[in-house]
Amino acid sequence: MFRVDPLANPEPLIRRVYSYVAYRVGDGPDAEDITSETFERALRYKKSYDSRKGEPAAWLIGIARRCIEGRPISLELSSEHLETADHRDLEEDTLRGIALSAAVGRLEERDRELIALRYGADLTARQIAALQGAKTNAIEVALHRALGRLRAHLEGGEAAPVRKSQAGR
């Protein structure tokens, strides 16, 4: 009867959408642009939100996915971060975070998408399954495998490939 405003509390939603987008396309201006575009679209189509179908975060992530698909952006993480990571003044945590980002960037598209949805957007396996039209169990297994591959990348310590979109900057 009464419509629920999906953007009633926007701040945590902005953070979740940005984290998801940044895990997909890399932290930076591209992620900011896509996040802004996502919220512009969300405001335009706010009336189409149906609270029975899912939480506002899942709805926004669905919009963000379409925004990313509509952009010709290479989804590999930048080596800029690793270059800056060589400086001695950076703390170990920061270095570890950068290495983690680089490892996520080296994952395949599907694995990176799952990692972004689970740990960036903070969606549950059930919500991811609903978003991708898959079974919850299948998503859990896929996530487990993606984490295994990410761990292997981190332990292997391969150099991160340069992002196509950012290499030209």
Give the relative orientation of helices 56-69 and 125-132 as an angle to the nearest 10 degrees.
50
Is residue 128 within the footprint of another protein (CB under 8 A)?
Answer: no
- Hey, what are 150's tokens? 């990410």
Is residue 161 within the footprint of another protein (CB under 8 A)?
Answer: no
Interacting residue with another protein among 97, 124, 126, 161 (CB under 8 A): 97
Is residue 74 within the footprint of another protein (CB under 8 A)?
Answer: no
Is residue 39 within the footprint of another protein (CB under 8 A)?
Answer: yes
Rounded CA-CA distance 145/138 in Å is 11
CB of residue 161 vs another protein: minimum separation in angstroms? 19
Is residue 59 within the footprint of another protein (CB under 8 A)?
Answer: no
Segments in the chain forming alpha helices (H): 10-25, 29-44, 56-69, 80-85, 92-106, 109-115, 125-132, 136-156, 164-167
- Hey, what are 121's tokens? 């957007």
Rounded CA-CA distance 124/100 in Å is 21
Is residue 5 within the footprint of another protein (CB under 8 A)?
Answer: yes
Interface residue list for another protein (CB under 8 A): 5, 7-8, 10-11, 14-15, 18-19, 22-23, 27, 31-32, 35-36, 39-40, 43, 46, 93, 96-97, 100-101, 104, 115, 119-120, 122, 147, 150-151, 154
